[in-house]
Structure 1
């Protein structure tokens, strides 16, 4: 049921008080008149005249009180409305904004001052967290690169014994995972800071999806999975080609990892209602409704399989990249038949589009 605005509640309360005061005044007047020593008929006539006059004045009093009460309530709540609008505009991208402090030195002004102080602390903590993630990821790249080069040299050395080559190969696999984690953390740090570099350009999404599907088919073949595609001959879009490819690759990697033996993966794409939709669905164990609520959170894994490698960053990165494009990524369904994700891009005019770099 729709709640009444606070200003109307205050106006009604004021009107009710006015009616109560009017009736109380009428009763008091009536008792005073009865107490005087006068003729009964004259007393009755005077009393009824006063009562009728008061009853006739009640509607006018109510209207005046309601209008006046609403005006007073609006003036009293104006600072609260300004604070509400300002608070709704504060996001991750503009944490430097603050709530307007009313000129009146009252409780509301004191509360806003406390909230602004809290926002200052939150901004500092958030900036420190983003800076730490970015710097840590950046500084990890150099030692990881040195390690990778050293191990690759060991693997290519013909004098290296087979046993050591096997160990070096396992170490190289772990280093590749470390490299992926560092790059993913750096990308997420840039997303948090609103500094994702999107190089928008016109390209054929169907062509990109066909190339990604071929790579996925090679990976799926080793797992006994079938990859099915349904793509239009051409699907022009304006977006960051690398970012869009990364979104679809992450979806397909999950579709392969969390599939069932002899399962299936489907990749569909279409243009509909001013959007370009890419759908990736796979057979396999469904994601529970409780886990689905957190599926796009960082380091969260929708299905807890210790044997399946991963850091829980793929979907969160895909979600951030989709949001940076003004699109969305959503879990459409997950049941005993299919787990289906849909990536949507807003369609723009591709005829006049030129390559450009945009900070998202």
Structure 2
């Protein structure tokens, strides 16, 4: 399962936490608001009923009522009843309210009538004249609840937009905050791709952890680059220093082999020594070439190359080495196969691949060399029936100095395939390899043509 990116995880975490906090706060607010609305309605009702006592008077043997009793201020209805008979003397109550509801002086009650919720308060009033009155205040809780429900409904509608806005803001902030990390990653990937250790992150001035990480990373790159340059220079210096004594040794061996008084046994030893010197010289030459490559001092001289003639020439050059192990080289070369390439490097590529097949081939074995064009691509296929390559070794065969079985082939430097891979890469080509132990290996190089 693919892991989510750090940005997405931060956005999800931020959104979830913000959503939970918002839900908790909204729930708390609505709970408090609901209670406050209830208390506010009760207080308004109590104040209205108490103030209504001043709107009723007893004069000259009769009751007088102020017309303000008929007004429903804040949705509160007032009515004056005769306590004994329950008769409505003045005022009004909401439509559908229970007219014969029993009196309970000084009590706030919640009453339901025809699916409507009311808050009722009765207050006794004695003005003299032998009449006991009751002032009843009635207000609808349903209206207040409806207002509350509308607010809640609006909040539920706006809530998804709030979550989306939070996620968007979190994404933008996380992306901005992680831009330095992305820059560090991009720098590492570019170094991994082209091997240019001179690249740096260069985030600039900053005091947070990411800026310090970038600065540390730049210092690390400087250290690695300096170490690699020292190693490259050392390799170059050693290779240069070895060329002269190897040349002298080669000349001495050649002169010694032509001495007539030399015994057959000594002549054999000199020939073996000469071959070792030649192998060492070739390795030194390859080290010098890799040194120029690493220091980017290698210049390609591309031209239109007839690969058909080039491959045929390389096969001819390798016939003597193949014959030493009775290995037959079978070629299948398509005529007039051209491509833009450095001819010297292409010769080295073909010779290295054929030499590798001979080195790891069995006596009396075979090597098949095929050159052909397909879909505007040029293919070079070299197959052998040698010892093959173990699956665990396949990922490493293009590494410098790597040998799957060092004890078996001590004369092999392990630089040939590394050189082949580099030549393919600088010619914008591709390379495939397949192998099976004891059945041989197949190398396929393809180039644009």
So what's the TM-score if we normalise by structure 1? 0.86
Q: Deviations over 1:22-76 (max 9, x none)?
A: 3323332344333764365436445434422322331332233233222222322
**How far did residue 326 of structure 1 move?**
2.4
CA distance in 1, matches of 2:148, 2:225: 69
SS in 2 for 1:293: helix
**Alignment of 1:314 onto 2:314:** no
**Alignment of 1:248 onto 2:350:** yes
Larger mean CA deviation between 26-35 and 313-322 belongs to: 26-35
Unaligned runs of 5+ in 2: 43-108, 111-116, 118-140
The equivalent residue for 1:169 is: 271
* 1:315-354 correspondence runs (5 A): 315-334=417-436, 337-347=439-449
SS in 2 for 1:157: coil
The equivalent residue for 1:7 is: 7
CA distance in 2, matches of 1:228, 1:316: 25
The equivalent residue for 1:34 is: 35
**How far did residue 211 of structure 1 move?**
1.9
**How far did residue 161 of structure 1 move?**
4.5
* Structure 2 contact 345–423 (Cα < 8 Å) conserved: yes
Higher strand proportion: 2
Rg larger for: 2
CA distance in 2, matches of 1:180, 1:192: 18
**How far did residue 125 of structure 1 move?**
0.6
**How far did residue 5 of structure 1 move?**
4.1
Q: Deviations over 1:181-203 (max 9, x none)?
A: 21121112222222223222222
* 1:251-290 correspondence runs (5 A): 251-290=353-392
Higher helix proportion: 1
* Structure 2 contact 279–411 (Cα < 8 Å) conserved: no
SS in 1 for 2:404: coil
Report the CA distance shift for 1:111/1:151 in structure 2 as closer, same or farther (over 3 A): same
SS in 1 for 2:371: strand
The equivalent residue for 1:83 is: 184
Larger mean CA deviation between 133-142 and 256-265 belongs to: 256-265
Matched residue count: 347
**How far did residue 159 of structure 1 move?**
4.1
Select the structure with the greater relative contact order (CA < 8 A; seq sep ≥ 6).
Answer: 1
* Structure 1 contact 83–100 (Cα < 8 Å) conserved: no
Larger mean CA deviation between 184-193 and 3-12 belongs to: 3-12
* Structure 1 contact 257–308 (Cα < 8 Å) conserved: no
The equivalent residue for 1:71 is: 172
CA distance in 1, matches of 2:340, 2:188: 33
CA distance in 2, matches of 1:224, 1:18: 77
CA distance in 2, matches of 1:153, 1:246: 29
So what's the TM-score if we normalise by structure 2? 0.70
**How far did residue 163 of structure 1 move?**
4.5
